């Protein structure tokens, strides 16, 4: 098994992201590696193509900070060194932001959860995991969750 030392995991507070986080923690513990937990705010810019207000952005930042804080605590509780980063590249799609963060941090693995949406749900909401897989500069481990979180 490859020895991954720098593992990036996107988090959003969902059950699927928590499953990905648990897997990333296992990999980091097994390899003596460290993690970077990231939360991307920029997805809001693409919801129905509408602009968002400063208040909505503030709420999104606060939710992201909470997700990052919870992820960091889980990693620390498991004895894994962790950093967190709130990504706010409003001109980028999720996959672009994650790819840039992975490259900038010199990640050697991305662990991402997928909601497993199909049909209309996937058409309307897109697949963040699919974007990440297409654009990632490093291997991506996809952890499949339930269709509904």
**Does 65 fall in a domain?**
yes
Q: What confidence score (pLDDT) does residue 128 get?
A: 82
Residue 84 lies in a domain: yes
Residue 1 within any structural domain of the chain = no
Is 52 inside a domain boundary? Answer: yes
Buried b (16+ CB within 10 A) or exposed e, 8-22: bbbbbeeebbbbbbb
CATH code of the domain covering residue 49: 3.40.50.620
List the domain range (segments joined by +) for residue 135.
Answer: 6-144
**Residue 46's pLDDT is what?**
46
Q: Determine which helix (DSSP H) or strand (DSSP E) holds 83, and give its type and residue range.
A: strand 81-87
The Cα–Cα gap between 104 and 74 comes to 24
Contact 14, 149 (CB under 8 A): yes
- pLDDT at residue 145, rounded to an integer: 74
- Is 16 part of any domain? yes
Domain count of the chain?
Answer: 1
Output the pLDDT for position 48.
47
Residue range 45-84, pLDDT digits in tens: 545 445 555 677 788 889 999 999 999 999 999 999 999 9
Position 148 scores a pLDDT of 46
In a domain, 28, yes or no: yes
Spans of the chain below 70 pLDDT: 1, 42-54, 89-91, 116-126, 146-149
Q: Confirm if 14 and 4 have CB atoms less than 8 A apart.
A: no
pLDDT for 4 equals: 94
- In a domain, residue 149? The reply is no
pLDDT, position 109: 98
Kindly state whether residue 38 falls inside one of the protein's structural domains: yes
């Amino acid at each position: 098994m490859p020895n991954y030392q720098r593992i990036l995991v996107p988090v959003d507070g969902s059950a699927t992201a928590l499953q990905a986080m648990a897997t990333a923690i296992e990999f980091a513990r097994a390899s003596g590696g460290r993690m970077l937990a990231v939360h991307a705010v920029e997805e809001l810019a693409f919801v129905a193509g509408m602009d968002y207000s400063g208040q909505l952005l503030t709420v999104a930042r606060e939710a992201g900070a909470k997700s990052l804080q919870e992820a960091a605590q889980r990693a620390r509780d498991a004895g894994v060194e962790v950093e967190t980063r709130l990504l706010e590249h409003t001109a980028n799609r999720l996959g672009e932001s994650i790819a840039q963060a992975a490259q900038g941090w010199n990640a050697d693995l991305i662990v991402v959860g997928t909601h497993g949406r199909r049909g209309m749900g996937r058409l309307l909401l897109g697949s963040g995991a699919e974007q990440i897989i297409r654009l990632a500069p490093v291997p991506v481990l996809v952890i499949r969750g339930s269709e509904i979180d």
